[in-house]
Amino acid sequence: MSTPGTSTQLKGKVALVTGAGRGIGAGIARELGARGASVIVNYRGSVETAEALAKDITAGGSEAIAIQADVSQVDQIKTLFEKAKEHFKKIDIVVSNSGIEHFGALPDVKPEDFDKVFSVNTRGQFFVAQQAYDHLSDGGRLVLMSSISAHNAIREHAVYAGSKCAVEAFARCFSQEFGRRRITVNSIAPGGVKTDMAADVGYKYLPMADSSWSWEQIEEVVSKRTPMGRIADPVDIARVVAFLASEDAGWVNGQNITISGGASG
């Protein structure tokens, strides 16, 4: 398993990561902290893990705090940014990571199912970006979270995939508005990543699998689809985000970056 890097690449920067209580978001928060950034660990319900992560980042030498907010609620997004700005006095990096999975056959999808997914994955990211526009320092960074599902034809995955397609369009369009303040906007589209969410629904991505499959079986099949023979760890995604957050990525703007290890299918 890969481990977070350590450097002073982001020293003096302040990063806000939504949905950072677990999974990919936690990996991103940890990596940015390891590279010197102060970190706001946003979470919706994972209070214990979010606070533990903030303590770990602080123990590693970077300041971190955990702030609760549900990004499906615009007023809570606004409060999140206000609290973050009040504590750190500035925000240099925003990573809009919050998201929820969904699988459902077309005839079975209810309006409330559709709305629940889009309220977080799409609407939530739009209004996180709106607050980022108001609060990011000039020369800052905004990274939105798409998914490889936006590019692939996956059975019964249309709602989730559609919610992520929109995010890639957001990044392209937002880059035109943020650019006047030298703020870059990009999206990333991870492939399979070893997280608790993947363990719960990973079998649904594999036509030959069913709910009886163990995570070990799922991981074996997915690993065979990548040239390097493994599934991604959250830190693999986090390192790309750390690059986009750095000075080195100052001319990367309005792009979507697929992070799949070259996976096929």
**Res. 30: pLDDT tops 80:** yes
Active site residue 204: no
Domains of the chain listed by start with CATH number:
14-192+233-255 (3.40.50.720)
Q: What's the CA gap between 25 and 31, in Å, rounded?
A: 10
**Res. 6: pLDDT tops 80:** no
State pLDDT tens for residues 152-177: 999 999 999 999 999 999 999 999 99
Active site residue 96: no
State pLDDT tens for residues 99-131: 999 999 999 999 999 999 999 999 999 999 999
Active site residue 133: no
C-alpha distance from residue 5 to each of 20, 46, 52, 239, 243 (Å): 18, 25, 19, 8, 12
C-alpha distance from residue 69 to each of 130, 132, 169 (Å): 16, 15, 25
pLDDT (0 to 100) of residue 194: 87
State pLDDT tens for residues 61-95: 999 999 999 999 999 999 999 999 999 999 999 99
Active site residue 85: no
pTM for the model: 0.93
pLDDT (0 to 100) of residue 173: 98
